[in-house]
Amino acid sequence: MKKHRRTVSRIRWALFVGLVAAALVTSVAVEARAARHAQPATDPAVAALRDQALQSDAAWKLLASLTTEVGPRSAGSAGDKRAVEWALAAMKGLGLDDVRSEPVVVPHWVRGENSGEILAPFPQKVLLTALGGSVGTSEEGITAEVVGFPTLEALQAAPDDQVRGRIVYLDRRMERTKDERGYGEGVGIRRDGPATGGKKGALAVLIRSVATGNHRFPHTGTTFYGEAPKVPAAALAVPDADVLAAQLASGKPVRFHLKLTSRVLADEPSANVIGEVRGATHSDEIVLLGAHLDSWDLGTGAIDDGAGCAIVMAAAKLIAAQPRRPARTIRIVLYANEEAGLSGARAYAKEHADELPKHVLALEADLGAGKVWGLRALAAPAGRTFLQEVARDLAPLGIDWLEPAAFGGADLSPLEPAHVPLADLAQDASEYFDYHHTADDTLDKVDPKSLAQVVAAYAVTAWRVADSTVAFGPAPPPPPRR
């Protein structure tokens, strides 16, 4: 009995202590949050725009429509042309101004049938896909011994006679990072591996997919031959790369059969699709929000870059629906053919060369639908100072000011010679490279709430910059590109 009473009193004491501790923790957290928010108040109109964006399903509906009604839309394909029609109709439906397409000629590479098989020491088919732009094999395919290298550097350092007449395999694993660092460091095997192997006399080059995650999808993406002999190039899905690596590790000779019917067809017409929210007082000054309309052929391009298209379109729709227009024009540009060589981006820079000095700031959404966690800029000091203020308006979305400078989406690179100022709304890319450039890039991989947060970040940033008369440029020279 005594023991029972002691237990009860101990439980009471534990409850009391727990409650006191919880109350203290709560009060400390409330104080900390108040301190963090001690900053110049956000304009109520901007706060309202931000909250509307968070509540809006506009981007989700656009993305569901694009992926359901168009689906894959690689440069030059029938889907590419349908995507242009879709974007024109969708922008008009959103009430944007001066909706139009600007013609772009795009290359038309087709994947064809891709197959690979380990013949020895342990026969097994593997899942692989051609790298974008790869030449095909002959009709019979290529059968040869595989020589493996852990990195591009190891292949570069290898004597030619270790490579000549063989199939090269590059086994480097990509690191998972919140930003694009892991990809930037890992993509070399895809970009430069085939050219490096071709120069040394390889018959073909295989790579471990430049990817995070371990689902059984090969990840495609463009390879660049430059002046090197063009050899067939393909990426293995991660589990298949594991099997090939394990068989190579057995020390027995590994023979492989590769067949790709990939080829380049005649160029095709495509288009950049453009719509605007015309500025109230300084309509000749342009705040450019970009994304790319093309996708790879394997998936429905939900994260790359349907999400980007939906984000910038939804941001423009929300701004267009405000009680008044901002001073400057917000221009939405959905670029043709980002994936296979930036055709649309180059065409835009050329077509709008005279107007580039009036491009106040440019941003591109091309990293999926992960939440924005930072804002960074490549701009003159007055522009940077202004964007630091904007970052404070974005703080309730969990967004901080970031250093070093912005490097812009790939489609913005042709604007650099004109010193167009850039900003990046840095998105969480932790899971992006699980799906990037695969058949698994589909609508279900997008979180509607996260997508709405990105729209809010773009809408607030675009509104603030367009509603100011601050000079953001000329931009300093850009940092080295990822």
115 binds its own copies (CB under 8 A): no
Of 42, 49, 53, 67, the one binding its own copies (CB under 8 A) is: 67
Apex CA 127: angle with CA 123 and CA 131, to 5°? 125
Sign of the alpha-carbon dihedral angle for 190, 430, 377, 310 = positive
Does residue number 469 form part of the binding site for its own copies (CB under 8 A)? no
70 makes contact with its own copies (CB under 8 A): yes
The residue range among 169-177, 191-199, 237-245, 271-279 that interacts with its own copies, by the rule CB under 8 A, is 237-245
Least distance (Å) between residue 301 CB and its own copies: 12
54 binds its own copies (CB under 8 A): no
Nearer to its own copies among residue 325 and residue 445 (C-beta): 445
Site for its own copies contains 69 (CB under 8 A): yes
Element (H, E) at 82: helix 78-93
Residue type, 461: T
Q: Could you tell me which stretch among 121-129, 270-278, 304-312, 343-351 binds its own copies (CB under 8 A)?
A: 121-129
- The Cα–Cα gap between 205 and 439 comes to 22
| 3-class SS of residue 418 | helix
338 carries an active-site annotation: yes
Is residue 300 near its own copies by the rule CB under 8 A?
Answer: yes
Q: Which of 29, 32, 89, 246 binds its own copies (CB under 8 A)?
A: 246
Tell me the residue ranges of DSSP E strands in 317-389. 328-335, 359-364, 372-378
Least Cα distance to 439 among 324, 328, 297 occurs for 297
Region from 65-73, 189-197, 218-226, 276-284 binding its own copies, contact rule CB under 8 A: 65-73
Site string for its own copies, 429-458 (x = CB under 8 A): ---------xxx-xxxx-------------
Please tell me whether residue 215 binds its own copies under the rule CB under 8 A.
yes
For residue 341, count other CB atoms closer than 10 A to its CB: 17
Q: Contact 433/211 with Cβ under 8 angstroms?
A: yes
Tokens coding 147: 């020589």
Cα separation values, 234 from 3, 137, 221, 345, Å: 73, 11, 10, 27
Rounded Cα distance, 28 and 18, in Å: 15
For CA atoms 195, 198, 202, 204, give the dihedral sign: positive
- Residue 124 interacting with its own copies (CB under 8 A): yes
Contacts for 31-36: CB closer than 8 Å, 24+ residues apart? 36/395
* Interface with its own copies, residue 153, by CB under 8 A: no
Euclidean distance between CA atoms 87 and 79, whole angstroms: 12
Stretch that binds its own copies, among 180-188, 238-246, 394-402, 409-417 (CB under 8 A): 238-246
User: 85 or 98: whose CB is closer to its own copies?
Assistant: 85
Q: Distance between terminal CA atoms of the chain? A: 72
Q: Is 25 in the site for its own copies (CB under 8 A)?
A: yes
Catalytic residue among 338, 351, 355, 403: 338
Q: Does 26 bind its own copies (CB under 8 A)?
A: no
CA distance 313 to 68: 17
Distance between CA 209 and CA 186 in Å, rounded? 10
- Considering the rule CB under 8 A, would residue 188 count as an interface residue with its own copies? no
User: Does residue 18 touch its own copies according to CB under 8 A?
Assistant: yes
Question: Which of 122, 160, 181, 382 is close enough to bind its own copies by CB under 8 A?
Answer: 122
User: Please, which of residues 268-287 interact with its own copies by CB under 8 A?
Assistant: none
Could you give the residue numbers annotated as active site? 338
Binding residues (CB under 8 A) for its own copies: these are 10, 13-14, 17-18, 20-21, 24-25, 28, 64, 67-72, 78, 122-125, 127, 214-217, 238-239, 242-243, 246-247, 299-300, 438-440, 442-445
